[in-house]
Amino acid sequence: QGIDNAFWNCKLMVYGDGIQAFKPLAGGLDIAGHEMTHGVTQFSAGLNYINESGALNEAFSDIFGTIIEFYAKPSSANWLVGNEIGVTLRSMSNPNAYGNPDTYGGTNWYVGSGDNGGVHTNSGVANYWFYLLTMGGSGTNDLGSSFNVSGISIEKSRMIAYRTLTNYLFPTSNYADARFYSILSAIDLYGACS
Ligand code: 0ZN
Ligand code: ZN
């Protein structure tokens, strides 16, 4: 009671009932998906919940939480995490809007020991990866590299994300590993040069 949060404790999920702005957290489909994905990650890649591996762990929870929302509620689904409970915590389409980075080492990239090394902050980079892969987009990132990505649809992007998480990543995987193995997963699924 009186908790504005939800978590997976390695065995079970806990959902707060929300205090003022927060409605009961079990009411958010993306939140439930986020917490359940922590269980999937624990028993597959086992990403350590600290620093870059922890940021990837967090991102996969946001990614599958959002995939579940799009699957179950296609007409109202969105790229925000938590808006169904009255408070938006993160944006996958624009991580900067909530103080998180969209670029590795870019604006808002967290260096420090809080929040297990910024796991809920640096997740923004992989969240934005999944958004771009799905929806496409173009621009110049914080490091001055321009990009132009054609979205491949969530039906395909979710397969790449799931294969990366469950077939390849391991407890100490970092962002460079995620890059390498997500490309490998895409090749496995859709062919070289796809
Ligand atoms: C975290 C687990 C938080 C937790 C950890 C709670 C240990 C108690 C013991 C997670 O599953 O990664 N909860 C999610 C989260 O992103 C819940 C979201 C999906 C609704 N929490 C963030 C955090 O704890 C954001 C957040 C939620 C927050 N409620 C808050 C931030 C209240 C500030 C105040 O940072
Ligand atoms: Zn989480």
Q: Which position has the higher pLDDT, 1 or 183? A: 183
pTM of the model: 0.97
The overall average pLDDT reported for the chain is 96
Q: Is residue 20 over pLDDT 80?
A: no
Q: Is residue 193 over pLDDT 80?
A: yes
Confidence tier at 21 by pLDDT (50, 70, 90): confident
C-alpha span between 90 and 1 (Å, rounded): 23
89: Cβ below 6 Å to ligand 1? Answer: yes
Q: Is residue 194 over pLDDT 90?
A: no
7: Cβ below 6 Å to ligand 1? Answer: yes
Two structure tokens written together for 96? 């900067």
80: Cβ below 6 Å to ligand 1? Answer: no
What pLDDT, on the 0 to 100 scale, is given for residue 188? 98
SS (H, E, C) the chain: CCCCCEEECCCCEEECCCCCCCCCHHHCHHHHHHHHHHHHHHCCCCCCCCHHHHHHHHHHHHHHHHHHHHHHCCCCCCCEECHHHCCCCEECCCHHHHCCCCCCCCCCCCCCCCHHHHHHHHHHHHHHHHHHHHHEEEEECCCCCEEEEECCCHHHHHHHHHHHHHHHCCCCCCHHHHHHHHHHHHHHHHCCCC
31: Cβ below 6 Å to ligand 1? Answer: yes
C-alpha span between 103 and 187 (Å, rounded): 24
> Measuring from atom 11 of ligand 1, which residue has the nearest CA?
7
120: Cβ below 6 Å to ligand 1? Answer: yes
Is 120 among the catalytic positions? yes
Q: Is 138 left (phi over 0), alpha (psi -120 to 50) or beta?
A: beta
Confidence tier at 104 by pLDDT (50, 70, 90): very high
Confidence tier at 10 by pLDDT (50, 70, 90): very high
- What integer is the mean pLDDT of 159-176? 98
Pocket test for ligand 1, best of 4, 5, 20, 68 (most atoms within 8 A of CB): 5
Instruction: Say how many Å lie between the CA of residue 38 and the centre of ligand 2.
Output: 7
Dihedral angle computed from the Cα positions of residues 25, 26, 29 and 31, in that order, rounded to the nearest 10 degrees:
50
Instruction: Say how many Å lie between the CA of residue 93 and the centre of ligand 2.
Output: 18
Instruction: Say how many Å lie between the CA of residue 120 and the centre of ligand 1.
Output: 8
Q: Is residue 95 over pLDDT 80?
A: yes
Whether 17 contacts 85, CB under 8 Å: no
Instruction: Say how many Å lie between the CA of residue 115 and the centre of ligand 1.
Output: 10
Digit-coded pLDDT (tens) for 40-69: 999 999 999 999 999 999 999 999 999 999
What pLDDT, on the 0 to 100 scale, is given for residue 13? 92
